[in-house]
Amino acid sequence: MRLLIRYFTLLTSYMRVNWRGALEYRANFLFETLLSILEVGMYLFYWKLFFGISNGVGGASYEQLVALIAFNHCIYALLDTVMGNHIWDASGLIIKGQFDVLLVQPASPIFQLFFSGAQPLHAVQLITGTAVYFAIRPITPESIGLYLFGIVVGGMIFGSWLVAIHALTFRFGNYLIVIKLLSVILHFAKKPATIFSGIVRFILYTAIPAAYIGTVQAEQVMKPDWGTIAALAALAAVAPFVAGLIFRRGMRLYESGNLIGARM
């Protein structure tokens, strides 16, 4: 417990420092808000139009797709808030040798690499996603609980997968494969897993867990199954430890990124 408190304190320190830096560009707050609204509005318009000209999506109602969009948006926002851009460009930092300085710090280098870029400014996206969710769901203790549970579980599973994927950088020496895998999950996570064939759906629940960034949460909101919810909680609890183990094994292959030459 003491260790958790220490790292939580470190995270809040990162967020406080980065918040002060973000305030130097206050126009970004308005930009983030508008971009968040436009992104959500685009997907809502697309699915509304699709349901208007077709028989809809097999196995999913329009309300379920709206919930998927809300959860998807909030889970990305959660990671952007507590990790910032580092959750996306950690491989680039490793390649450039910026991981070196973290290895001699007292705190976990993995924690520092992924959480030192925390950006509270991105939390505005959580407001947008929350508004969309409660536009279709009544405000009750159950709906609020499922909403918070879905975001936390999705964030832990997705964030753990990203940490494990970035560990591939140590083995391959470049981040091209990481970029490709990120683009794949970004593409599939915004669509219900039910529209894909059996083999693709299996991949979306295992190797590329896009289904846990909206599809699963939307299903549980509409028809809660306590067995599934317990399994999701167990998966979310185990995922960070597995990701940490994979990343630490990758660190054994790490060679300093420092090169003889000028750094800009």
User: Mean pLDDT for each 10-residue chunk of the chain (264 residues)?
Assistant: 79 77 65 80 84 76 90 91 85 83 84 86 85 92 94 95 90 77 82 85 89 93 93 95 93 69 43
Q: What is the pLDDT of residue 236?
A: 95
Which amino acid, residue 222?
Answer: M
Q: Is residue 262 part of a domain?
A: no
Q: Decide if 261 is inside a domain.
A: no
In a domain, 229, yes or no: yes
Task: Tell me the β-bridge partners of 60.
Answer: 57
Assess if residue 260 is contained within a domain: no
Residue 259 lies in a domain: no
pLDDT value of residue 262:
42
Please give the pLDDT value at position 161.
Answer: 93
Q: What is the dihedral of CA 143, 147, 149, 150, to 10 degrees?
A: 130
Tell me whether residue 264 is in a domain: no
The Cα–Cα gap between 124 and 115 comes to 18
Q: For residue 51, what pLDDT is reported?
A: 83
Which structure tokens are listed for 62? Answer: 């329009």
Name the helix (H) or strand (E) containing 148: helix 141-166
In this structure, is residue 258 part of a structural domain?
no
CA angle 213, 214, 216 (to 5 degrees): 100
Name the residue range of residue 232's domain: 2-251
Residues in the chain: 264
Number of independent structural domains in the chain: 1
